[in-house]
Every structure is written in C-alpha cells, then in structure tokens.
Amino acid sequence: EKIFSGFSKTRDNLAVIDELLTYWNLAETDRVLDELEEALLVSDFGPKITIKIVEILREDILAGKLKSGSEIKDALKKSVLDLLTSKGNKTELQLGFRKPAVIMIVGVNGGGKTTSLGKLAHRLKKEGTKILMAAGDTFRAAASDQLEVWAERTGCEIVVGEGEKAKASSVLSQAVKRGKKQGFDVVLCDTSGRLHTNYSLMEELIACKKAIGKIIFGAPNEILLVLDGTTGLNMLPQAREFNDVVGITGLILTKLDGSARGGCVVSVVDELGIPVKFVGVGEGLEDLQPFDAEAFVNAIFS
C-alpha cells in the first residue's frame, strides 16, 4: 500500500491529536474536543466537516461507545474515511473500452496542470498505454513548448497548433482525429488556464469539450480538474465554477508535499461530490500517486 510521504506537513499539524488522546479521560472531553477541533481547522478540514466530525465523536463518547483515546482516534479516522468514500467513489480513471479514450486536463495557470499531465502520461505509458498529447493551451505562448518538453521526457507523441492564432478546440479535435486514425489508446488534452474569472476561458473549455464530442460521439472519458493543494479551502469556489461549467469527473490535487492544509481534500470531496483521482507530491516524474482514501487517512493521522 502506498504511503503518502507527501502529507508530512499535514501530519505534523495533526500530531497534537495523538498527544491529546493519550491522556484523554472522560472529565476532559470538552477540552480535548476543543483542541481536536482546532487541529482539524488548522489543517483546512473546513468548519462544516470539522463540526460534523467533532459532534459525532462527542455523542459517541457521552453515550459510552468510545472508552479510550485509541478508540476515539479510530472513530476519528473512520469518520474521515467515510466522508471520503461515501461521495468520492470511482477514484480510478474510467477510460472505457472505446479507443482512443480522451482525458481533458483543466485548471488555472500555476496550479500544476502541465506537470500533472506529464506525470500522468508517464504513469499510463509505464502501463503500456499508447499516449498522444495535445497542446490545447494556445493562449500562453510558452505552454506548448513546456508540453513538448514533457512529451520528449516521457517519449510520447504530441499535436501542437500551427501559428500563434491556433484555436484550442481545433488543436484538440485534430489530435483526437489523429488518435483515432493511428490507434492511440489515450489522448491527453492540455487546456488553457488563464484566470477562471475570465468568462471566455469557460466558453473555450465548452467549445473544446464539444469539438472532442463530435469526434468521439460523447463526452471526454475524463475531465480532470487540477487544484493547487497549497491554497487549501480557497480552492473550493474555483472548483465549483469549473464543475458547473464543464462538469468535472475527477480531481488532481497538487503540491500536497508542500502543504500543511491536506484536510482540504476531505472538504473538497464532501462539497463537490467529485472523487480525488490523483495527488501530486513532488516535481519529479514519479510524483503523481493514485489517491487511496485509506492510505491518506493513515498518513495524516499516523
């Protein structure tokens, strides 16, 4: 089982819970739960989830169902796991049987979109998948160059738009057509990420989705939203907007290696009902891990 070494900063934030529970006794329940609440908030579980978890623990303690610090800790881990698995099922990529499967990667600039696309290509390629990359961020001049570097690094082929005025939707549809004709298994589509408040980005993403749909006769198999894990709960409004406009099938949370706010994983899954499919825990090729709820819970509450 994967150990999420990437969550060490969040784990440090939550280590206080262990100390608290070691010395827990019934008379100190309120104080202990107050401090536990504080620790969860500091790690960006968010007020809604934190209160839900703490109140369930309080009820079970007062009802005599939890009789020791270690039972409380197990109950805490179980409620976090339940929150993650009740809404965030299907954490594995759903690529279907039709070839090529199409994965669109969306998200705002700087979140780790291109890096995640490269790491995902590397991971799929290792499994024997024939990948075609598509440089759909035609807005930022350097974006295609950056993706070409990843294509070279991972040994994947790539479709890049011609000229500065290439339309994102035509680059992607060209790539999917080629993918179909030449027997690629997966077409990995990069997209633009200029500020999400700019309405035309959302229009462009809709146009991209439609253009792909015309060729594969349906929606892309996956539309993965890349979110910067260091922004913690601040990622929520942005995630909601992308989901409302394009319909997100899964999340990639990046930079969790540098974030003490890993609790946001639970909040974002609970709020949006979208599964986390991968987490980014570093800048290297191998630093994209499939999300495993149980391993995550064990890593943050070790």
Name the DSSP class of 215: H
Stretch near ligand GDP under the rule CB under 6 A, chosen from 92-100, 263-271, 274-282, 289-297:
274-282
Run of H or E residues at 265: helix 264-272
Q: Residues touching ligand GDP: how many (CB under 6 A)?
A: 18
* Backbone CA torsion sign across 169, 280, 81, 261: negative
Q: Please list every residue from 106 through 135 that binds ligand GDP, using CB under 6 A.
A: 107, 109-115
Query: Nearest residue to ligand GDP, using CB?
Result: 280
> What's the CA gap between 246 and 223, in Å, rounded?
8
Contact of 113 with 107, CB cutoff 8 Å = yes
Taking the complex as a whole, the smallest distance from the CB of residue 152 to ligand GDP amounts, in Å, to 16
* Binding of ligand GDP by 262 (CB under 6 A): no
Report the residue number, 111 or 136, with the smaller CB distance to ligand GDP: 111
Contact of 257 with 6, CB cutoff 8 Å = yes
Taking the complex as a whole, the smallest distance from the CB of residue 256 to ligand GDP amounts, in Å, to 7
Taking the complex as a whole, the smallest distance from the CB of residue 231 to ligand GDP amounts, in Å, to 12
Taking the complex as a whole, the smallest distance from the CB of residue 149 to ligand GDP amounts, in Å, to 11
Taking the complex as a whole, the smallest distance from the CB of residue 160 to ligand GDP amounts, in Å, to 15
* Binding of ligand GDP by 280 (CB under 6 A): yes
Out of 46, 88, 161, 282, point to the residue binding ligand GDP (CB under 6 A). 282
Report the residue number, 63 or 195, with the smaller CB distance to ligand GDP: 195
Say how far residue 278 (Cα) sits from the centre of its chain.
5
* Binding of ligand GDP by 141 (CB under 6 A): no
> What's the CA gap between 20 and 28, in Å, rounded?
10
> What's the CA gap between 263 and 229, in Å, rounded?
10
Q: Please list every residue from 174 through 203 that binds ligand GDP, using CB under 6 A.
A: 193
Taking residues 241 to 260 in sequence order and writing x for each that binds ligand GDP by CB under 6 A, - otherwise, the string is -------------xx-xx--
> Which two structure tokens, joined as six digits, stand for 22?
């070691």
> What's the CA gap between 57 and 61, in Å, rounded?
6
Per residue in 91-124, is it b (16+ CB within 10 Å) or e — as a string? bebebeeeebbbbbbbbbbebbbbbbbbbbbbbb
Residues near ligand GDP, by CB under 6 A: 107, 109-115, 193, 254-255, 257-258, 280-283, 287
